[in-house]
Structure formats: structure tokens, C-alpha cells
Amino acid sequence: MMMAIPGTTADLLNKSAVKGRSLWDDSRRRLLGNKAAIAGAIVLSVMTLIAIIGPFFWPHSFEHQYQDRLALAPTTEHMHWLGTDILGRDMVARMLVGLQISLAVGAIATFVSLVIGVTWGAIAGFAGGRVDQYMMRLVDVLYAVPFIFFVILVTVVFGRSIFLIFLAIGAVEWMTMARIVRGQTLALKQKEFVEAARAAGVKPLGIIIRHILPNLLGPVAVYVTLTMPVVILQESFLSFIGLGVNEPLTSLGQLISAGQKEFAYPWLLFAPAIVMVITLFSLNFIGDGLRDAFDPKDR
């Protein structure tokens, strides 16, 4: 049997074969091979970049009203590429701000649900027993409260504020995250490495932080990307019924709501609706790609 010379290609291949690929390397390879997920990530990144830097270069303000250009159809004149609304405000500028608000709602509300849900679910699942029962029964009770009732209650008590909308949506979505994390934690705490940590005298909080949470990154990452479209749709629904952001700020949902009321000017509806569809499709493609990449059944 021939021995591979150290440092040669054959030797490196033998070492690579012995070492093998880690689960993270395999997941990354599968994700990069998913063309739909990569395309969604590229489109979403470009849209986010345009929404952030676009207002600094666009000549029109999102709140300025041109009294001589009310409901102007899309035209290159005066650079009203998507026309103006019934108050004479430039639609491109309005859509840039609306995309900013919708993406911010998705990111911030998802982050709130992530922090609360992961913490709650990990503690409930690891503690088990009565602690688990009491904590999850509270989740069941909160699940019974209608989402719209909770948002109306927050609005009546604290007033309409964009930041309260972020928190209200996130405070509802965390419950599903908590259930997912709890189920994963119940399975992980039976693993040998957790038992070894217990035997070594590691405190429960240390086990959760060092051993449980790192192994939850895969499912949590998938759920985060699938939660953002839901959150954006919820904000759009609130704006559609008049409980969303206050004028002159706007969101994609609010623009769609205003457009369907003025259907005589179709550009007011179609432009924000198309941007909303592209955003949601991109997020869903990314979520599906992450789910497939981290699915152990496909390894």
C-alpha cells in the first residue's frame, strides 16, 4: 500500500476525508447551492440598501405636497417616475420611506420576539416539571387573546406610536418562538454533552448559555426568516385598518390601503403592492433555503 507524501495533494485529501465536513459547513454548502435563497438574499439586500440611501439622493421629499401635481401619472417630467398621490406627494419618495418602515417593523419586532421567545422557551424546557407547566400555560392563555385586541389595547393605553407597534407585534410573535425553543430544549437536555456538563458541576444557567443556545441557532435562524414576512403582513394589516404609523410617515401597507381607496389612479396601488410582493417572496425564499439547509433529514 502506497503512503501519501506529507504536504502533497493526496495527503491533504486523505486528511480532509478523515476530518470530514462539520454540520455547519454542510449547511452552508447546501444554502449556497440553493439558487432561490441566494437570489432572495441578493434582491432583499439591494432593496434594503436602496431604502436606506435612496432618500438622500432622491430630489423629492416624502412629505412635500406639490399643489400643481395632484394625482400625477408616472412621468419622467420633474422625476416623478411613479407619479404622485392625491395630495401631490412623490410616490417614489413615499415608497422609499414605506419600505424603510416595513423592513424596520420586520427586523425590530422579530428581534423582540426572538429575545423573549428564546429566553422563555429555553428556561421552560430546561427547568421542566411545574416551572415548565406554569410557563407554557401562560403562553396558552396569551394565545387566546386576539392579536388585534391586544394592539388596540396598547394603542388606547399608550397612544399611537411606531415604536409601540414594533413592540406590540413582537410581544405577540414571541409565543410561537417560545414553543419551538422549548421543544428543542427538551430534546437537547437529554444529550450526553449536557449530562457531562451537569456532572462537571456547571450551573443550569451556564448549561443553557454554553450548550443549549448554540445548538438552537439552526432552528431559530430558520424561524426568524419565516417570522419577518408574517410581521410585515401584520403591520400592513394594521395600517390597512388605520392603526398603523401616523402621517406623514407611511408604510407599504398604508400605501396599499390608500391606493385601493383611489382605484381611479392605479399606480397608487400597483407600485407598493409589487414592492410588497417582492419583499415577501425574497424573505420566504431565504427562509425556505435555511430550512432546507438545516433539515437533518436531507443530510
186 found inside a domain? yes
| Cα–Cα distance measured from residue 255 to residue 239, given in angstroms and rounded to the nearest whole number | 9
Q: 234 with 252: CB under 8 angstroms?
A: no
Residue 9 has pLDDT above 50, yes or no: no
- Report the pLDDT value the prediction gives residue 22, as an integer from 0 to 100: 59
- 2 belongs to a structural domain: no
CA distance 149 to 169: 12
Single-letter amino acid code for the residue at 206: G
Q: Which residue has the higher pLDDT, 136 or 31?
A: 136
Q: Is 187 within a domain?
A: yes
Q: Is the pLDDT of residue 16 over 90?
A: no
pLDDT of the residue at 295: 61
- pLDDT tens across 219-241, in order? 787 788 778 888 888 877 777 77
Residue 122 confidence class, pLDDT cut points 50, 70, 90: confident
Mean pLDDT of 89-94: 92
pTM, 2 dp: 0.78
CA distance 196 to 208: 13
> pLDDT tens-digit profile of 200-221?
888 877 887 787 877 787 778 7
Would you mind telling me the total number of residues written for the chain in this entry?
299
What is the count of structural domains for the chain? 1
Determine, yes or no, domain membership for 70: no
Assigned domain for 234 exists = yes
Residue 18 has a pLDDT of: 42
CATH number at 168 reads: 1.10.3720.10
User: 68 or 217, which is more confident?
Assistant: 68
Angle 7-11-16 (CA atoms, 0-180°, nearest 5)? Answer: 115
Among 56-60, 178-182, 233-237, the least confident range: 233-237
Q: For residue 248, is the peptide bond before it cis, meaning its omega torsion is within 30 degrees of 0?
A: yes
Residue 1 lies in a domain: no
Assess if residue 194 is contained within a domain.
yes
Contact residues for 287 (Cβ-Cβ < 8 A; gap 6+): 222, 225, 226, 229
Q: What residues have CB less than 8 Å from 92, skipping those under 6 apart?
A: 58, 60, 79, 80, 81, 82
- Which residues 6+ apart lie within 8 Å of 240 measured at CB? 253, 254, 256, 257
Give the residue-averaged pLDDT of 63-82.
Answer: 88
Does residue 30 sit within a domain? yes
Which structural domain range is residue 162 located in? 25-52+86-298
Arithmetic mean of pLDDT over the chain:
81
- pLDDT at residue 11 greater than cutoff 60: no
> Which residue type, as a one-letter code, is found at position 181?
V
